[in-house]
Amino acid sequence: EPIIAPRRIQQLSEDVVNKIAAGEIIVAPVHALKELIENAVDAGSTALEIVLKEGGLKLLQISDNGCGIDKEDMAILCERFTTSKLKAFEDLQSIGTYGFRGEALASISHIAHLSVATRTKESSCAWKAQYSDGKLVAPKPGQSAEPKAIAGRQGTQITVEDLFYNVPTRRRAFRSASEEYAKILDLVGKYAVHCDGVGFSCKKHGDPTMGLSVPANAGTIDRIRVVHGSAVANELVELACESERWGFKAKSWISNANYSVKRTSLLLFINHRAVDSTPIKKAVEQTYAAFLPKGGHPFVYLSLDIDPKRIDVNVHPTKREVRFLNEEEIIDMICDEIRSSLGKVDTSRTFMTQT
Ligand code: ADP
Ligand code: MG
């Protein structure tokens, strides 16, 4: 006799499916913000303003000056798998934009109160709407759910309030708002360094001081100076390498052998998306170990462009991880470049002390 009787299999309701998917994509406020930053950059914005309350848990607001959203699209904006960026599965092979699955806004609308105000160049006014569970909802009972005409400039403002309000276990897991705020500043800092031509500001609501502010016209070194300080900005070397064979181009700013800190700062972008990579971090640290005092670590900003055909951006719901072909060969080439650059600085110093 089996101990367990078979249980009937049932289809999960769409609402449950959507909440599960949302929880996988957005684990913490910083993940929602990353999606919103990428959307704003995809929209061609040159200025991004971010305002937060309670580390983004109470309020996460991002205003951009990008192309805006057509009023006609507002009804389906937050439905799952609605996107302006991807049509066929094959398009994933050449995707140039950050977003591609039309899941971000949908997910957020399932686990937070979401409102959108937006204006395109052609529109004579801005339009504002609220969303819940993927659909337009009335701001108050008895009111219309249809987008409402308001005054506003070109661009989009997304307001996310009370993240995880309906996922109490997740909400309770956040002990400290300042920890979430720190993660957010770290992420905004990464994009502020990387996104040439885009200005960034990030602050707590009601706080007159900026957490971070980078003007649109700042060059890369100045961006690094604003975000990471002069100590590192004064000790940077530029690197570039590429290989047709392995289908990649790398651009990088790295600290020289004079600079050494307790922990590695690795700002890694692959095809303009901030990602983590343990193999790259390990290889970079190993390379530096030969040049820095014991226990010393470098600063490395590395932007890798990899032929989209050789990359799979779709391995992880959060897109934090990407896989690409010939990873080892590419890492080797970059580390060789770092080594020879650090070596050059070394010999010039030896030379100077000898004379
Ligand atoms: P995806 O980015 O994968 O397409 P999202 O859910 O993040 O999916 O966004 C859905 C669509 O909403 C985008 O394809 C884009 O057309 C539009 N959109 C979102 N954010 C913005 C923005 N800040 N400015 C202009 N359009 C936006
Ligand atoms: Mg997106």
d(CA 238, ligand 1 centre) in Å: 34
Ligand 1 lined by 39 (C-beta under 6 Å): yes
**What is the position in ligand 1's atom list of the atom closest to the CA of 102?**
8
Ligand nearest to the CA of 86: 1
CB 74 within 8 A of CB 127: yes
Which residue intervals of the chain bear CATH 3.30.565.10?
Answer: 14-214
CATH class of 231-354: alpha beta
Q: Whose CA is nearest to atom 13 of ligand 1?
A: 83
Task: Give CA–CA dist 316/234, Å, rounded.
Answer: 37
Q: What was the ipTM of the complex prediction? A: 0.98
Pocket test for ligand 1, best of 105, 120, 198, 314 (most atoms within 8 A of CB): 105
CA distances, 339 to each of 333, 342, 343 (Å): 10, 5, 6
Q: Considering the entire predicted model, what is its pTM?
A: 0.91
CB 202 within 8 A of CB 185: yes
Q: How far is CA 44 from the centre of its chain?
A: 15
| 3-state SS, one letter per residue, for 218-263 | CCHHHHHHHHHCHHHHCCEEEEEEEECCCCEEEEEEEECCCCCECC
d(CA 251, ligand 2 centre) in Å: 25
**Residues near ligand 2 ion, CB 5 Å cutoff:** 39, 99, 104
Tens-digit pLDDT profile for the chain (355 aa)?
778 888 889 998 888 888 888 887 888 999 999 999 999 999 999 999 999 999 999 999 999 999 999 999 999 999 887 777 766 666 655 555 545 567 889 999 999 999 999 999 999 999 999 999 999 999 999 999 999 999 999 999 999 999 999 988 888 889 899 999 999 999 999 999 999 999 999 999 999 999 999 999 999 999 999 999 999 999 999 999 999 999 999 999 999 999 999 999 999 999 888 988 899 999 999 999 999 999 999 999 999 999 888 877 665 655 566 778 899 999 999 999 999 999 985 554 444 444 3
pLDDT at 19: 84
CATH architecture of 14-214: 2-Layer Sandwich (3.30)
pLDDT at 87: 64
Ligand 1 lined by 67 (C-beta under 6 Å): yes
29-42 and 104-111 helices, crossing angle to 10°: 140
d(CA 185, ligand 1 centre) in Å: 22
Which residue intervals of the chain bear CATH 3.30.230.10?
Answer: 231-354
Ligand 1 lined by 62 (C-beta under 6 Å): no
Q: Whose CA is nearest to atom 23 of ligand 1?
A: 40
Task: Give CA–CA dist 194/42, Å, rounded.
Answer: 14
pLDDT at 316: 61
Task: Give CA–CA dist 118/157, Å, rounded.
Answer: 6
